[in-house]
Every structure is written in structure tokens, then in C-alpha cells.
Structure 1
């Protein structure tokens, strides 16, 4: 597609999977790759010739700052698309500048859409003022490849009234509680043992506290709440229950945290037992009550037989309650992982290509 040009920032797990999926697209759907960047290395040409990702490691291209990259892409002999596969706040903050120059943005970067409300407004104001010349798509910022954002947008755009959004928004939390407190009551491991198993299996971040603090879920809830029409200032402005014991909030290292976590197994065990006595199971749930304007994230005792209680493995599950769907519209599946996250990015890129051409 000689009139569509592509820049890619970030070629880690998601970025590598994205480049593989990009290569498999039909030529008619594949923009010309002219820029690629990872950490401290970039690859591009001054005359906008196609580049190969395989040459990035040996590239000697001068490093462009974000403003310089904006200028470079705006001067391309056609329409430019930026794919940001990072979670970098500085790149996210530059989205309005890219969009104002007519450069479309596709990204799984949650920080762009869950930090300050002013950045959210700046991003979509730039889209509105571009008169269709620039677009932003971020499906993978909430459910990886799951059609969560697109479904919510369709519900709102077609005039449905969203009353509540509820679910399990973290593959890590899903795995932890499906192992610790399964519906059949077969869970035998202690909480600290389950966390350790999840860490060893790669289900958590290298430092499990980055999952257990609940902020990843809170960022996703912020995005969905804003799309549902709530003026949420940010994830710091509503109730988020951290699963890090207060006594361990200041420990210096991940190793020390894991060593001391067994001291607090009794607290989680008591909560699980209390739920079981009521015929319920414990889950880490995010919920948005649109009518009340309330957003919260934390432990919840869930009735057996409900979609959330019945969830298995590390899947995510999102329930949309609306005027049309009093029995919820349920989306379930893998909500994390390089391949499925990249699928969401690639799917968004296809949408941009279809609209731009």
C-alpha cells in the first residue's frame, strides 16, 4: 500500500508477535513499514523506503525524539499510522501531537487512556478535529484480543443504555482465585503457594506486587467507565483493594515479599472459608455502576453458578448489563499474552487501513 506508511514503537513480546502477524497480512492490507524502534535503537530511512525488522539490531540510524518522529511521519508521502506496543507514559502523552498532525495511532498502551482525564480529552479532541484524517484504536488496552471496547462502543453508539459492567479483568487474578478457591472446593494450596506457583509459571509480573496491587485492573475499569460516559479522573479516584498486606507494602524486594507472604495466609484463608459458608466463592472483581457513577475493584464473594464464579484457568470475563441485555452480554477468553494482545493490535490496524484507504 504505497500511500500508507507504518511506524512501530516497541518490539518486545507483543511487538514481536505483532510484526509476525503484520507479515502474514495480505499485501493490500499491509502498510509500508518505514520506522521501527526498540529501547535505544531505531531503524528508518530519510526517503521513506521500506525497511525490514531484521535489520534493526545493526541499525546506525540517528535516534529521533518523539517530536522529531512526529515531524518525520507527518512529512511522509502519504498517510502515516503509528503502532505503539509499549506501556510508556511519555509516548502516550505524545498521542495528541501525532493525531493533530494527521497520524493515526493504534496501541495496547493502557496509560494513554487511564491516566489523566485531560490527556483522554486531548486525544479524542485531536481525533474529532482531524475530520477523519486521524484515528485512534486501543482495543488491546482492556482485553487483549477480546472485543471488549468495540462491543461497549457499539452498545453506546446504537443507543443502548449501559447500566453496569462487571467482571474479572486480570488473567493473573483469574488464575490465582480459580486455583485458590475453585467452585468445587478442591483448592488445597495456601494463598502464598498459589502466588508462588503463578509467578513460576509466568502468570504474574516478575514482581507479583505489580499484579496484586490491583492497579492493572483499575486502569482497565477507568477506560471502560470513561467509554460508558463517566468522567472518571483516574484509577486513584475510586476504591481499589490491594492484595498486598499493609505490613509488606514497604519491603524492598520481590524476593523478600515472597518470603514473608506466608505470614498472611490466614487472612485469605479466613475470607475463603467465610465465603464457602455462604455458598459462595472469592473472586477479584471490577465493577462499574453507571447509574450511580461508582467504580470499584476488589475481593467479592460471588454466588456459585454465576459466570464469574464459573470462570476457569486464566481467562478474563466481562459482563455488560444494559437495557437490551438485562441478562448480561458476556465476553470471555484469554485477556493477556503476547499473541492475543498483538491480535487486538493487528485487528485495530486493519480497521484503520480500511478507513484510510
Structure 2
């Protein structure tokens, strides 16, 4: 019987996704340790939030049942990524860093972590959609790239827990020709336009639907962070790169912002929402044009691989189109490939939320643990 194995876990970011992940980690840890044939012991050796950090200089495991109280009681300030990397490098077993933040500084340090043999799993879009050079540096260092360091997986950076990235990688790696990728990539924008222009008619004014989406927790605290299209552009950048296009950044292709130019300089999200109704006529006109054509308006992203064409913005769809029929905050991603012909491979489901995003992160952690064995 093989000897029990240990894998050390470090977690940066304990907000909505991070908290859900740590709950899932507790369940995963219990299951893996109870395996009769090949027990694996997961040791949580570092937990960090934006203001403080919890770790043991002797690498004594943190109790998964009391991590939050222990972190609250910690008096250690946050360490820069380089110091965290040095600490993890000397751990008594292989280490997986779980970054549940959207922090650019942490993302910039991924090549450093990977070169030190520290694996990384993360939903952080910024790491994979920032400059093309950072993308190259990450995969040049990773063992599942061109390098010899740790492994890197980021399923939850697109589509939360949906298997979008793994499906695209499999299509590419098995030799299929990906011709086009199209879909609704934002749970926020999905909910907003499904409410603004439901199939069959109706829906409130655009400003009223934005306010409702914010009240229900579907938008960022400042809705402009959703309406500027950059979140979708980051996801498109990641998928385009995986499909073989050297997209420089999320601002290097057309991205339609739904923020009226007159409101771009608003001092706060509240001021923006208070004035958004002044511009409802423009969206009502668009809604009427689509309705007159028997169509609906949706906020989508598309990648034409052959033409090297990536874009994000509003488009009209026949009411019979799968994109038109979405419900709630679901995402839908269609892969048009040589093998699938005119009928795309479609992935659809919840594309946002702490539990499903954390599930994608936990799934990536399981992949790394298997590879480390």
C-alpha cells in the first residue's frame, strides 16, 4: 500500500468565492484522507485577505474548521507575493496556491510561483487576459505549458463552474478546427437583457432593470464595472488565446460600452444610477427595432478565429435562437468547429455565483492533486 501523501494548500482571498472554496476544501480534505488505497492529506498552511495573513513559520496546518476566527485573531500584515512565494517554496510538501482574488499584483507573480514549483489554481481573469507577455510568461513557466515548474489551471476564469476552458482545450488538443466562439459570457448582462427584453415582449426600462439587477446583487457595487463590457472582453481574450490568437489585451478589439458618454465621469455608482434614466430613450429605440424584426437584443461576445476578429457588444437574435431563450443569469457558449459542422457544441448554465465558481476552483485543485501523485 502506498504511503500517505501530503499536499500543502495556500489560499489568498476569502471573500464570497474564497469562503465557498474553503468550505469545499474541508469536505475534499475529509474525503481524500479517508481513502483506503491512497490517502492524501491536505494541509492548509496559509490564508490571506486584503488586510491580514495567517500562517505558521513551522508550517503547522491551519484548522479548516476555525480558519476564519484564527485569521481574524491574526496580527500579521499581508505579505507581498514575493515573500509568500519564498515561504511556500520551503514547505515540507508540494504546494498549491489558490488565488481567489482579482488582484493584478498577485497575478503578475504567477510566473514566480510556478518557477519555484508552486502550482496555481484560480478564477483570477486578470492573470490570463492582461498583456500577452504575462500570458506567455505564465505558460512558459508552467509544467502544463512549456516550462518545468508548477501546474496552472484557471477553469473558473470563464463561465464560473461551467467546463468552458477544459472543453476548448480538448477541442484544440484533439485536432479539431475551432472556427467561431459565440455566447453570453456575463451572468450580470444575461440577467439584465433577459429582463429588459424577454422573449414574448415586456420588460421594464433599461435604467429600471439595471437598478433591479443591482438590488438583487447581480451587478458590481458600481454597475459601470459591468456595463463597460470589460468583464466580457477579458473572458473573450482568454478564449481567443486558447484558440490560438495572439490577442494583446482586452482593449485591443472592439468592446461596446453601455455607459452613456455623458455619464462616464459620474463621481459614484449612485450618481450614475440616478441619471441613467435620462438615456432610456436610446435603449427603447433599440428594443423597438429588434421587436419589429421579430428579434431580441442580447449582449454577446464573439471570436471569429479564421478572421482573427474578436468583438463584444449588443446584437439582435431571432427568438428561436438559443441565446434568445436564456433564463435568469445563465451563460451560454457555442463552439462552432469543423467536427461539429453547422450544429455548435453548446455549454449552458449558471455562469456566476460563489458556490459554482468555487466548484470550478476545487475541480482544478483536484486535477493538480492527481498530477502531483
Question: TM-score, normalized by length of structure 1?
Answer: 0.97
Query: Which residue of 1 is the match for residue 22 of structure 2?
Result: 19
Query: How far apart, CA to CA, are the structure 1 residues paired with 2:209 and 2:25?
Result: 37
Query: Which residue of 1 is the match for residue 104 of structure 2?
Result: 89
**What secondary structure is seen at the aligned counterpart in 1 of 2:158?**
helix
Q: Which runs of 4+ in 1 moved over 6 A?
A: none
Q: Which of 183, 186, 208 matches 1:167?
A: 183
Q: Is residue 2:290 matched to residue 1:275?
A: yes
Query: Which residue of 2 is the match for residue 352 of structure 1?
Result: 368
Q: Which of 58, 81, 96 matches 1:47?
A: 58
Q: Which of 257, 281, 290 matches 1:266?
A: 281
Query: How far apart, CA to CA, are the structure 1 residues paired with 2:147 and 2:137?
Result: 12
The superposition leaves residues 151-197 of structure 1 with CA deviations (integer Å, 9 ceiling, x where unpaired) of: 0000000000000000000011101110111111132x111111111
Q: Is residue 2:45 matched to residue 1:34?
A: yes
Query: How far apart, CA to CA, are the structure 1 residues paired with 2:174 and 2:302?
Result: 22
Partners of 1:100 and 1:126 within 8 A in 2: yes
The superposition leaves residues 52-98 of structure 1 with CA deviations (integer Å, 9 ceiling, x where unpaired) of: 21311112346432111111111112211100000000000000000
**What secondary structure is seen at the aligned counterpart in 1 of 2:313?**
strand
Partners of 1:171 and 1:316 within 8 A in 2: yes
Query: How far apart, CA to CA, are the structure 2 residues paired with 1:316 and 1:202?
Result: 17
Query: Which residue of 2 is the match for residue 333 of structure 1?
Result: 349
Partners of 1:9 and 1:37 within 8 A in 2: yes
- Unmatched tracts of structure 2, length 5 or more: 34-38
Partners of 1:22 and 1:30 within 8 A in 2: no
- Unmatched tracts of structure 1, length 5 or more: none
Query: How far apart, CA to CA, are the structure 2 residues paired with 1:287 and 1:169?
Result: 10
Q: Which of 207, 218, 224 matches 1:203?
A: 218
Query: Which residue of 1 is the match for residue 36 of structure 2?
Result: none
Deviates further, 207-216 or 25-34 = 25-34
Partners of 2:139 and 2:147 within 8 A in 1: no
The 5-angstrom pairing of residues 32-181 of structure 1 reads 32-52=43-63, 53-54=67-68, 55-61=70-76, 63-127=78-142, 128=145, 130-131=147-148, 133-181=149-197
Partners of 2:121 and 2:154 within 8 A in 1: yes
Query: How far apart, CA to CA, are the structure 2 residues paired with 1:35 and 1:255?
Result: 37
Query: How far apart, CA to CA, are the structure 2 residues paired with 1:252 and 1:61?
Result: 35
Which of 1 and 2 has higher RCO (CA within 8 Å, sep 6+)?
A: 1
Q: Which of 212, 219, 233 matches 1:218?
A: 233
Question: How far off its partner does 1:3 sit?
Answer: 3.0
How well do the aligned residues superpose, as a CA RMSD in angstroms? 1.2
Question: TM-score, normalized by length of structure 2?
Answer: 0.93
